[in-house]
């Protein structure tokens, strides 16, 4: 996002022109002196809010976002004393459980993030969520503040209306190589300055494990959470030139990538690290928060996760010496960008059953202003760069966050989205039944040994499931009148080294 907005890495810490005087009263368990500064000032509502006592329920995946919302909601409640907010910053497993049940029986939170099992098209076609055009004052002007690619047909927009609101941007590497600098001493490479090859990654994890002698291990995963293994493998493969990632479609050809030789090699690398005994033995039982909690305790030398870990680790474990770099590369001399689709990140939807749409609209109206985005950015930093250009200029991150932002600026680009070119593709997304077992499930099965056929056989079967899932969805969409075929997933003009912005410019 920083590249698209024209923000150079050296300009991230530009002088602030937004009021950041004062100190917030953090409720996230960190000392106030270490919390981001900045006074949140809630403007008067543009519409009419409820006059009686009401409670808004808001659920998301927590992490660094919670730092902002734990500051914001008390200020909002102080501004509107009859409105209370029950904020639930939780994890994706809990979101999946609560939301999948709630959207069907009318008990979903008022505002929430969709679990991966529910596509946006599914949520819209089943009328589980509402359109922001209907509740945010002057919403067309709001959308104009966002950069190209923040909204797109079939992703955030359906039938000419917007159902998902991205509060942050996507130019972020979600699988940085995060390392314990104390445990990385005496290695043959400097993890902070040298990007590891895939083979070096295996050797380094083996060396750290040997030094740990049972007290710590080379690396750690959070395999109890969907994506715990597929996310780093997708990132490693895409930066090796598997465009669209290991489980995605190469939009230059329209073909799935799971049988690509680089994908097979990346999976076999992780399995070899596990076989070496270099992965923390509890990896299979840990979700992402559980895995990250072990790092500052000195139980693993390396973890591949995102920059949202930086500030919590620094604040809660000040003696923990953290370093970061790009994830391991098949060829460090030929690194392809990590691509992301349109729609921003941290997309929030609201329940069509909510009785508090006026409150939701008022909150979102503020969070999509430059002032609101600055307050988000001051608290979240590199974990989730703000979505608006003006807000990014206000950040003044510490060196580790700056490095994470600069790596994201240099190594991520916006890719094409079929539904943005042909709106009927959205009908395919609505009809599609995800391929099961999923890619994530299959990787865990290989890791645990439950799948015994080998990587190549497992990926051929995975490809068959993915092909059937897409072909069946296309056939169903066509039976409902959609003009769509597999050619809609082919962008022969796409250069994966460059952002594909023309498709999204309004």
Per-residue model confidence as pLDDT tens for the chain (506 residues)? 233 333 333 332 332 333 333 333 333 333 333 433 478 999 999 999 999 999 999 999 998 899 999 999 999 999 999 999 999 999 888 999 999 999 989 999 999 999 988 888 889 989 999 999 999 999 999 999 998 899 998 899 988 999 999 999 888 999 999 999 999 998 989 999 999 999 999 999 999 999 999 999 999 999 998 899 999 999 999 999 999 999 999 999 999 999 999 999 999 999 999 999 999 999 999 999 899 999 999 999 999 999 989 988 999 999 999 999 999 999 999 999 999 999 999 999 999 999 999 999 999 999 999 999 999 988 888 888 899 877 877 778 889 998 998 899 899 999 999 989 998 998 898 888 889 999 999 999 999 999 999 999 999 999 999 999 999 999 999 999 999 999 999 999 999 999 998 888 75
Name the domain count of the chain.
2
Domain that holds residue 58: 51-168+344-414
Q: What is residue 73's predicted lDDT score, i.e. its pLDDT?
A: 98
Q: What is residue 506's predicted lDDT score, i.e. its pLDDT?
A: 56
Return the SS3 of 436.
Answer: coil
Q: How many CB atoms lie within 10 A of CB 58?
A: 20
Residue 34 lies in a domain: no
Return the SS3 of 111.
Answer: strand
Q: What is residue 154's predicted lDDT score, i.e. its pLDDT?
A: 82
The dihedral through the CA atoms of 449, 452, 454, 455 has a sign that is: negative
DSSP secondary structure string, 44-102? PPSSPPP-S-EEEEEEE--TTHHHHHHHHHHHHHHHSTTEEEEEEE--HHHHHHHHHHH
Residue 258 lies in a domain: yes
Tell me how far CA of residue 336 lies from CA of 8, 237, 242, 245, 417, in angstroms. 20, 9, 9, 11, 19
Q: Which of 414, 448, 468 is the last residue of a domain?
A: 414
Q: Which of 414, 444, 474 is the last residue of a domain?
A: 414
Structure tokens at 282: 């509890």
Residue 489 lies in a domain: yes
C-beta separation of 337 from 496 below 8 A: yes
Residue 28 lies in a domain: no
- Pairing outcome for strands 111-112 and 345-350: antiparallel
Residue 9 lies in a domain: no
Same domain, 370 and 322: no
Same domain, 138 and 272: no
Can you tell me the distance from the alpha carbon of 489 to that of 422, in angstroms, rounded to the nearest whole number?
A: 10
Same domain, 352 and 286: no
Q: What is residue 495's predicted lDDT score, i.e. its pLDDT?
A: 96
Same domain, 240 and 335: yes
Same domain, 230 and 129: no
Q: Which of 414, 445, 460 is the last residue of a domain?
A: 414
Same domain, 55 and 133: yes
Compute φ and ψ for 303, nearest 5 degrees: -140, 140
Residue 271 lies in a domain: yes
Residue 358 lies in a domain: yes
Same domain, 357 and 393: yes
Same domain, 313 and 444: yes
Same domain, 311 and 368: no
Tallying the residues shown for the chain, one arrives at: 506
CATH number at residue 105: 3.40.190.10
Same domain, 260 and 323: yes
C-beta separation of 56 from 359 below 8 A: yes
Please calculate the CA angle 317-319-323 and round it to the nearest 5 degrees: 90
Q: What is residue 42's predicted lDDT score, i.e. its pLDDT?
A: 95
Same domain, 262 and 206: yes
Question: For residue 222, which of 266, 178, 182, 189 has the smallest C-alpha distance?
Answer: 178
Same domain, 206 and 249: yes
Q: What is residue 24's predicted lDDT score, i.e. its pLDDT?
A: 35
Residue 38 lies in a domain: no
């Amino acid at each position: 996002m920083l590249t698209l907005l024209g923000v150079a890495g050296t300009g991230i810490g530009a002088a602030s022109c937004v009021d950041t005087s004062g100190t917030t009263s953090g409720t996230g368990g960190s000392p106030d002196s270490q919390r981001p500064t900045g006074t949140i000032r809630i403007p008067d509502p543009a519409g009419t809010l409820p006059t009686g006592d009401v409670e808004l329920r808001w659920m998301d995946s927590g992490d660094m976002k919670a730092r902002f919302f734990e500051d914001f909601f008390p200020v909002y409640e102080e501004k509107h004393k009859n409105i209370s907010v029950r904020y639930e910053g939780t994890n994706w497993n809990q979101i999946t459980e609560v939301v999948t049940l709630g959207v069907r029986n009318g008990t979903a939170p008022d505002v929430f993030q969709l679990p991966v099992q529910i596509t946006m098209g599914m949520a819209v076609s089943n009328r589980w969520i509402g359109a922001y055009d209907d509740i945010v004052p002057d919403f067309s002007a709001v959308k104009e503040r966002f950069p190209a690619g923040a909204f797109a047909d079939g992703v955030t927009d359906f039938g000419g209306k917007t159902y998902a609101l991205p509060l942050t941007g996507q130019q972020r590497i979600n699988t940085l190589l995060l390392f314990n600098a104390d445990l990385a001493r005496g290695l043959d490479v400097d993890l902070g300055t040298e990007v590891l090859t895939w083979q070096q990654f295996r050797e380094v994890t083996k060396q750290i494990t040997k030094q740990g002698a049972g007290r710590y291990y080379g690396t750690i995963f959070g395999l109890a959470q969907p994506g715990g293994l597929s996310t780093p493998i997708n990132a490693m493969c895409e930066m090796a030139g598997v465009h669209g990632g290991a489980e995605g479609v190469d939009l230059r050809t329209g073909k799935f990538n799971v049988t690509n030789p680089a994908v097979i090699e990346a999976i076999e690398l992780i399995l070899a690290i596990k076989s070496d005994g270099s992965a923390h033995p509890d990896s299979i039982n840990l979700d992402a928060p559980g895995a990250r909690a072990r790092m500052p305790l000195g139980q693993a030398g390396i973890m591949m996760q995102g920059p949202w870990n930086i500030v919590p680790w620094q604040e809660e474990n000040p003696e923990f010496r953290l370093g970061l770099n790009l994830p391991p590369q098949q060829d460090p001399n030929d690194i392809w960008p990590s691509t992301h689709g349109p729609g921003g990140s941290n997309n929030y939807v609201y329940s069509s059953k909510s009785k508090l749409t006026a409150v939701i609209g008022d909150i979102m109206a503020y969070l999509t202003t430059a002032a609101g985005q600055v307050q988000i950015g001051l608290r979240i930093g590199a974990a989730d760069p703000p979505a608006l250009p003006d807000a990014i200029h206000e950040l003044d991150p510490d060196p580790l966050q700056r490095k994470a932002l600069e790596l994201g600026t240099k190594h991520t680009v916006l890719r094409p989205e079929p539904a943005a070119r042909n709106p009927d593709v959205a009908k395919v997304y609505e009809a599609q039944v995800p391929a099961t077992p999923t890619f994530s499930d299959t990787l865990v099965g290989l890791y645990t040994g439950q799948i015994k056929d080998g990587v190549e056989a497992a990926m051929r079967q995975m490809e068959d499931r993915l092909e059937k899932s897409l072909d069946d969805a296309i056939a169903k969409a066509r039976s409902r009148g959609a003009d769509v075929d597999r050619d809609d997933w082919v962008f022969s003009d796409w250069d994966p080294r460059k952002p594909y912005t023309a498709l999204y410019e309004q």
